[in-house]
Amino acid sequence: MTDAYRPAELPEKIQHYIDGEFVDSLDGDTFEVLNPVTNETYVHAAAGKKADVERAVAAAKRAFQEGPWPRMLPRERSRVLHKIADLVESRDARLAELESFDSGLPITQALGQARRAAENFRFFADLIVAQADDAFKVPGRQMNYVNRKPIGVAGLITPWNTPFMLESWKLGPALATGNTVVLKPAEFTPLSASLWAGIFEEAGLPKGVFNLVNGLGEDAGDALVKHPDVPLISFTGESSTGQLIFGNAAPYLKGLSMELGGKSPAVVFADADLDVAIDACIFGVFSLNGERCTAGSRILVQRDVYDEFVERYAAQAKRVKVGHPHDPATEVGALVHPEHYEKVMSYVELGKREGRLVAGGGRPEGFPEGNYVAPTVFADVSPDARIFQEEIFGPVVAITPFDTEEEALALANNTKYGLAAYIWTNDLKRAHNFAQSVEAGMVWLNSNNVRDLRTPFGGVKASGLGHEGGYRSIDFYTDQQSVHITLGAPHNPTFGKQEVHEASELDDPDPR
């Protein structure tokens, strides 16, 4: 079955955007971009290399050193960011249409991500005006205050899952704080990123403040990480790539913020509301096609309710609607790329040996082409199984039983990752104690993944380095300069002071 759907007015080619102009790669090289429903090439994108990144960084550096953006008042920058948010919001249907087509994300979920992108800009537009920095006073003697300054050119490297929203997550605070940027979007999904240039121009962002270089990670991404004039790198992606970036950035002592992989546990105790927990655990791993870093892809269930949970969960997973991404009824669409599809399917086959298959396990019926995977559920999965330990990043979940709270905690912490955790229990004391003991950067108690944009976002262990979100983003994208003012007598110990002798009678001249 071939999906003939194609959005109107697709670009003939995707170019870089450097210093206010759309340009091809200096060497003319391109790469293919595939439709995930058919795996056919639908457009070619400029393939950036070191020379293209150098050109973009030079433009961004010039805009930072000579342009008005870093020197504008926060309120002036805020007005531009609010205009960006308005434009994104007004174009949400078009953005969602292109995002869905390019990534395979269901259209209704893509629409939600487009609206969230607008909210990210609006949030930081407000935050930068409300920003208050510390002052430390010793009355009558001294005062110290903190002066925040933009750092320079921020290198932003973004992933292919919900790309437009995740780009906004970095662009919003980087621009709000007065930096200039070079964005390197994921090569699988460059389509929606190409819309930022027109939005920024219309909103009044000065030329050179935003630059975009498409290309492969090992070419464009690597050149951006290693560029000496890029003091900041914010990266979202898999942990192995994060390790490479960490090593490559080390000689330059760059500021790094990296949100990496996850294998997050959802822990369901026997006293939980099973109806709500099952709904949340279905959504938590099958929304966004399972291609989400915070997916609750390991479900740990107390043995008292384990059989009931597995039976009901599997039955509901079988009812999740797989369909074409542009269909509003679709709940799981096509995975982003054939390479990723093959990776996920290899884990599905592995899971058939490592667990008990209770739902899915292959292609959904009626979809012989494209990157479709039926929502797949494995039960009775051992903690040493690869499908328990490794990030699959698709609509595949492992369910494992536990008996005691201590066992649940040991299982929850038994991976190299530590991004998120979800805990389902009506015991208030247990909920808080468990949350504080689980090795995760973020914990949701009796809740699905609901974000408050003021809170820090990030993980521990192999799931990340540093945090963004709210004031943590402001911290990352600014230098904090301490300024000291002496209000009283200076406290200056004197070295090398000249000796002063008291006069004696022998020193006085004869008065006679």
Q: How does residue 337 score in pLDDT terms, banded at 50, 70 and 90?
A: very high
pLDDT at 501 over 70: no
CA distances from 496 to 235, 292, 491, 493, 501 (A): 53, 65, 16, 10, 16
Residues 6+ apart with CB under 8 A from 421: 264, 265, 266, 267, 412, 435, 438, 440, 442, 443, 444
> In this predicted structure, what is the pLDDT of residue 510?
56
Give the contacts of 288 (CB within 8 A, at least 6 positions apart): 105, 109, 161, 162, 295
Phi, psi of 259 (to 5 degrees): -105, 115
Please give the Cα distance from 6 to 212 (Å, whole number): 25
Is the torsion defined by CA of 292, 259, 267, 361 positive or negative? positive
pLDDT tens sequence across 201-246 = 999 999 999 999 999 999 999 999 999 999 999 999 999 999 999 9
* 6 secondary structure, DSSP code: -
Active site residue 281: no
Q: How far apart are CA 467 and CA 30, in angstroms?
A: 34
Question: How far, rounded to the nearest angstrom, does the alpha carbon of residue 470 sit from its chain's CA centroid?
Answer: 13
The pLDDT score that the predictor gives to residue 2 is: 47
The residue behind tokens 């739902």 is: 359
Whole-angstrom CA distances from 220 to 35, 53, 224, 225, 250 are 22, 6, 6, 9, 18
Instruction: Count the neighbouring beta carbons within 10 Å of the beta carbon of residue 206.
Output: 16
502 included as an active-site residue: no
How many angstroms separate the CA atoms of 38 and 44, rounded? 16
Comparing 132 with 381, which gets the higher pLDDT?
Answer: 381
Residue 73 confidence class, pLDDT cut points 50, 70, 90: very high
Contact call for residues 196 and 167 (beta carbons, < 8 A): yes
Could you tell me what percent of the chain has a pLDDT over 70? 97
Q: What is the CA radius of gyration of the chain?
A: 27
**pLDDT for 116-172, tens place per residue?**
999 999 999 999 999 999 999 999 999 999 999 999 999 999 999 999 999 999 999
pLDDT number for residue 75:
98
Query: Please, which pLDDT band fits residue 499 given cuts at 50, 70 and 90?
Result: confident
The average pLDDT across 482-501 equals 87
Q: Is the pLDDT of residue 281 over 50?
A: yes
Question: Among 259, 291, 331, 439, which one carries the catalytic annotation?
Answer: 259
DSSP secondary structure string, 173-214?
HHHHTT-EEEEE--TT--TGGGGHHHHHHHHTPPTTSEEE--
Task: Dump strand ranges (E) for 87-199.
Answer: 135-138, 142-150, 153-157, 180-184
The residue annotated as part of the active site, out of 167, 291, 293, 468, is 293
Cβ neighbours for 101, distance < 8 A, ≥ 6 positions apart:
5, 6, 7, 35, 191, 325, 326
pLDDT digit string (tens) for 397-437? 999 999 999 999 999 999 999 999 999 999 999 999 999 99
Considering the chain, what is the average pLDDT of its residues? Answer: 95
- Is the per-residue pLDDT at 368 higher than 90? yes
